[in-house]
Amino acid sequence: MSVLDMVLIALAGVGAGAINALVGSGTLITFPTLVALGFPPVTATMSNAVGLVAGGVSGTWGYRRELRGQWSRLRWQIPASFIGALGGAWLLLHLPEKVFTQVVPVLLVLALALVVIGPRIQSWAKQRAEAAGRSLDHVSTARMVALVAGTFAVGVYGGYFTAAQGILLIAVMGALLPDDMQRMNAVKNLLSLIVNIVAAVAYTVVAFDRISWAAAGLIAIGSLLGGFAGAHYGRRLSPGALRAVIVVVGLIGLYRLVTV
């Protein structure tokens, strides 16, 4: 790995950590970067998942105040994310790499589409929260079941391919919860962190030799710094500009995937 490659991976980690703390989908920075530098898709996914754990920790810590008062729901969502992530990691490790290579471009297109329509999803969620005339913590049994099921499904997705799982979580919670964006963003950071930890541990135990530990380490250092910065300064930055960067880099990675 050249010095330039190392710098690019570390910078991608900084960007991914900041973006994950803000809007999610930071994997669309690091994953295409690794693929563009010649890493096999499965190796890129596993190395990326391991590296982004550090950024998830810093981003979640930065939003810790917004998590207060939400544990009545999180006690159900956390196990759903955990079990779903185990299932997604199992799929990645047991399905042939050819399947992953064929599926990832489709998932990447879906993730990019979700990034593009992310502002509309968030605006809709905010309007729902403002229009709700009841306690933020009140959720009916039916909605709780739907919320747990949706969280589990996103966990499976995240365990298999982490890109845009944050946007998916925001979409699920926005459709079901009478809550505000900052509180949902805090939950998104925590649940995404859980999924990444589960996936990273599974990959480390089962496929230690398939992980690029140099790349994972560089992403970890960069994302740790980026997560702190994103959580601290996130509300001052333009989400539109961040999404534009994600889409551009994601399209480059998509082109690299379908042309190799």
Q: Which domain holds residue 219?
A: 3-259
Q: Number of structural domains, the chain?
A: 1
130: number of CA atoms within 13 Å, CB side? 7
Tokens at 14, concatenated: 């900084």
pLDDT averaged over every residue in the chain: 82
- pLDDT by residue (tens digit) across 11-38? 999 988 888 887 777 888 898 899 889 9
Question: 2-6, 140-144, 178-182, 237-241: which range is least confident on average?
Answer: 237-241
Q: Whole-angstrom Cα distance, residue 40 to residue 44?
A: 6
Q: Whole-angstrom Cα distance, residue 109 to residue 179?
A: 29
- pLDDT by residue (tens digit) across 36-59? 899 988 899 889 989 999 988 988
Q: What is the CA radius of gyration of the chain?
A: 17
Reading phi first (left if > 0) and then psi (alpha if -120 to 50, else beta), residue 38 is in: left
The DSSP output letter for 190 is H
Q: What pTM did the predictor assign? A: 0.79
Q: What is the pLDDT of residue 185?
A: 82
